[in-house]
Structure 1
Amino acid sequence: MTFVARRLAWVIGIMVLVSFLVFSLLAASPGSVVATLLGARPATPEAIEQVTAQYHLDSPFLVQYWDWAKSALSGDFGRSIQSGQTVTSDIASHLTITLQLALYALVLVLALGITIGIVAGIRQGSLFDRATSGLSVLGMSAPGFVVSILLSYLFGVLVSIFPVYGGGNGDFTDRVEHLTLPAVALAVGMIALIVRQTRAAVGDVVDQDYVTFARARGLNLRRITLHYVLRNAAAPVVNTGGLLAIHLVSGAVLVESVFALGGVGQLMVQSVESKDIPVVQGLAFFIALFVVCINLLVDVVTLILDPRTRDGVRR
């Protein structure tokens, strides 16, 4: 519990720093802060006065940050310059399809990457292992946007199997069809990475004396794999899985743009291009919160899975 409390304190400290940097985006934006917040609205005296009062622009910088931070804690990041909606509702309207895409890709990564990595790690040196290693290097070398364009051409133009534009009408079957190519494009590089990580972790455990002793005792391969190999190889795979979950968010930016999904990634690109600073601030804050929470979750799961980590924490 002491370790978790220390990590929670670390998360709070990181988020305070991130919130300050996120708020500083407004002051660091080119041009006048008032002009940036007005957007396309005419700079009438009434509009300038309203924006100044709303964002406390006549107060010192640290006072402005404190007022913004208090509002952010309650989920109020202001209003989007482009849409006029609250930042929170604007992000929420784009979040559903991004979460569905990330979940779809994560299922592919875990189902294929871990399974293939385990088989390759147990059969090191075999033809399957060599082929897997070669394909994983190729998968890690392929940028996500290149894979997206290639899949769009192959399965959307040459062989019209899956739709290549938009997220569908919300129906489950239609949504799965629309998200299949984006999810595969997002998952290819991560599958390759987790295959290599799982293979290395499993291969290291397979060479240990306790696994050799279990084989000498006549235990079947299934029991050795589940009770000896997977339990001891799980910690590094979990750490890699945490990094991949973080990559799902950053990788979704390009993939959503290629397939015009209208998710959070595409919202980020549009907000940066249009200098919609309140939306950029809200997205940056939530993404940072997601990253630190994933790191905290990975640390806790590693403590549960690996007794050696718990012993190290106690010492």
Structure 2
Amino acid sequence: MNFLKFTVRRLAEMAATLLGASFLIFGAMYLAPGSPASFLLSGRSASPDALRAVNEQYHLDDPFAVRYFRWLGQLLHGDFGRSITYRTDVSRLLADRLPSTLLLVTMALVLVVVIGLALGRIGAVRGGATDATILVTTTLAVGTPSFVAAVVLQGVFAVRLHWFPAGGTGEGFGQLLWHLTLPAVALSLYLIGMLARVTRSAMLDVLGQEHVTVALSRGVPKRHVISRHVFRNALGTVLTTGGLIVSTLLVCTVLVESAFGVGGIGQLLELSITTKDFPTVQAISLTMVGLFMAVNLVVDLVHPLVDPRISLGPGRSAA
């Protein structure tokens, strides 16, 4: 029952947050300089009648509140509007480009979780020169922005060594995976370093606790203690970074997709901002907010399964 109540409460909070985010996203675009009408006219000087016709067609002269509630009503019916730049439904643009972005983010997330947890665990358990090497490596990873990693990886492994394609998405699922390998590595590098350091720190804290010392002194195999007690207890701390990891992946995918020419929603967002394509920018931004909130909800629900000390009872959350 507590689980159900918590889920319902979190879903209600998500709905309220999405409503607030929709208002901020919609309003922020209209605070930016310039007008979509100037792009529609391709920068040409236009007569007042032509400009009025464009504004009427796209409802650009309507009051802000009217435009917002019209847009919100369309969203509730699954209609994201029509792209000003591409002259097609925004939902169709998202359907065409979202799979590539989701696959890229998923590949990067797998690399972050597998390599980050492994490096953090090895550094905490082995210590010594191994730990020092991992610390230096992860420090370099954390200090390397995604766009810098993209340029370096592209120059070395695509241009010089010809091991991977320099950009694009190829044809078919197999080619898509191959083309997204370098972008996924560039996108995950910073977060691998961050997660490794968080995991190492959390495990070292648990290793110093009394129950671990007692278990080791009683002859319990160290491997068993590390797996069943230290690593599992440390995962509670690691899980709290889940939202940060996903939000970073979603933000940085804009830069990485542009660098590698991946036709995902990140690249679409950059182009849409440049051309003042309001409906597309608003739809992509709201989609990213929704994905981020969904991941946070999953983390909150999984947290008690990893750490039984976390309660979903009244007045408490799994965060």
Alignment TM-score, normalising by the size of structure 1 = 0.90
Tell me how far apart the structure 2 counterparts of residues 31 and 131 of structure 1 sit (CA, whole Å): 51
* Cα pair 2:187 2:256 within 8 Å, conserved: yes
Tell me how far apart the structure 1 counterparts of residues 76 and 176 of structure 2 sit (CA, whole Å): 33
Tell me the amino acid that sits aligned with residue 56 of structure 2.
T
State which of 73, 91, 95 in structure 1 corresponds to 2:76: 73
User: Sequence identity of aligned pairs in percent?
Assistant: 37
Which residue in 2 is equivalent to 1:158? 160
1:88 aligns with 2:91: yes
Deviation string 1:141-174 (CA, Å, 9 cap, x unpaired) is: 01111111111111112211111111111231x2
- Deviation (angstroms), 1:49: 5.1
Deviation string 1:54-89 (CA, Å, 9 cap, x unpaired) is: 64854x432332221111122212111111111111
Tell me how far apart the structure 2 counterparts of residues 261 and 314 of structure 1 sit (CA, whole Å): 44
Where does the alignment leave 5 or more consecutive residues of structure 2 unmatched? none
Q: 1:213 to 1:76 in 2, by over 3 A?
A: same
Q: 1:19 to 1:36 in 2, by over 3 A?
A: farther
Tell me the amino acid that sits aligned with residue 160 of structure 1.
H
Tell me how far apart the structure 2 counterparts of residues 143 and 3 of structure 1 sit (CA, whole Å): 37
Residue aligned with 2:204, SS = helix
Q: 1:171 to 1:289 in 2, by over 3 A?
A: closer
Tell me how far apart the structure 2 counterparts of residues 43 and 169 of structure 1 sit (CA, whole Å): 46
Structure-to-structure mapping, 1:222-261, within 5 angstroms: 222-261=223-262
State which of 116, 119, 124 in structure 2 corresponds to 1:116: 119
Structure-to-structure mapping, 1:24-43, within 5 angstroms: 24-31=27-34, 35=37, 38=40, 40=42
Which residue in 1 is equivalent to 2:299? 298
* Cα pair 1:77 1:87 within 8 Å, conserved: yes
Structure-to-structure mapping, 1:1-315, within 5 angstroms: 1=2, 2-31=5-34, 35=37, 38=40, 40=42, 48=52, 52=56, 55=59, 57-58=61-62, 60-124=63-127, 126-172=128-174, 174-310=175-311
* Cα pair 1:133 1:196 within 8 Å, conserved: yes
Tell me how far apart the structure 1 counterparts of residues 41 and 12 of structure 2 sit (CA, whole Å): 38
Tell me how far apart the structure 1 counterparts of residues 306 and 95 of structure 2 sit (CA, whole Å): 34
- Deviation (angstroms), 1:97: 1.1
* Cα pair 1:57 1:64 within 8 Å, conserved: no
Q: 1:66 to 1:150 in 2, by over 3 A?
A: same
* Cα pair 1:198 1:237 within 8 Å, conserved: yes
Deviation string 1:105-136 (CA, Å, 9 cap, x unpaired) is: 11111111101111111223x11101101111
Deviation string 1:239-284 (CA, Å, 9 cap, x unpaired) is: 1233112211111111111111111111111111111111011111
* Cα pair 2:39 2:275 within 8 Å, conserved: no
* Cα pair 1:109 1:187 within 8 Å, conserved: yes
Q: 1:311 to 1:255 in 2, by over 3 A?
A: closer
Tell me how far apart the structure 2 counterparts of residues 197 and 31 of structure 1 sit (CA, whole Å): 43
Q: 1:286 to 1:258 in 2, by over 3 A?
A: same
Q: 1:214 to 1:91 in 2, by over 3 A?
A: same
Q: 1:39 to 1:301 in 2, by over 3 A?
A: farther
Where does the alignment leave 5 or more consecutive residues of structure 1 unmatched? none
RMSD: 2.4
Q: 1:70 to 1:154 in 2, by over 3 A?
A: same
Residue aligned with 1:309, SS = coil
Tell me how far apart the structure 1 counterparts of residues 17 and 190 of structure 2 sit (CA, whole Å): 29
Tell me the amino acid that sits aligned with residue 259 of structure 2.
V
Alignment TM-score, normalising by the size of structure 2 = 0.89
Tell me how far apart the structure 2 counterparts of residues 297 and 197 of structure 1 sit (CA, whole Å): 20
* Cα pair 1:94 1:264 within 8 Å, conserved: yes
* Cα pair 2:304 2:312 within 8 Å, conserved: no
Residue aligned with 2:310, SS = helix
* Cα pair 1:37 1:51 within 8 Å, conserved: no
Q: 1:111 to 1:31 in 2, by over 3 A?
A: closer
Tell me how far apart the structure 2 counterparts of residues 213 and 14 of structure 1 sit (CA, whole Å): 46
Stretches of 4+ moved more than 6 A in 1?
Answer: 41-44
* Cα pair 1:246 1:294 within 8 Å, conserved: no
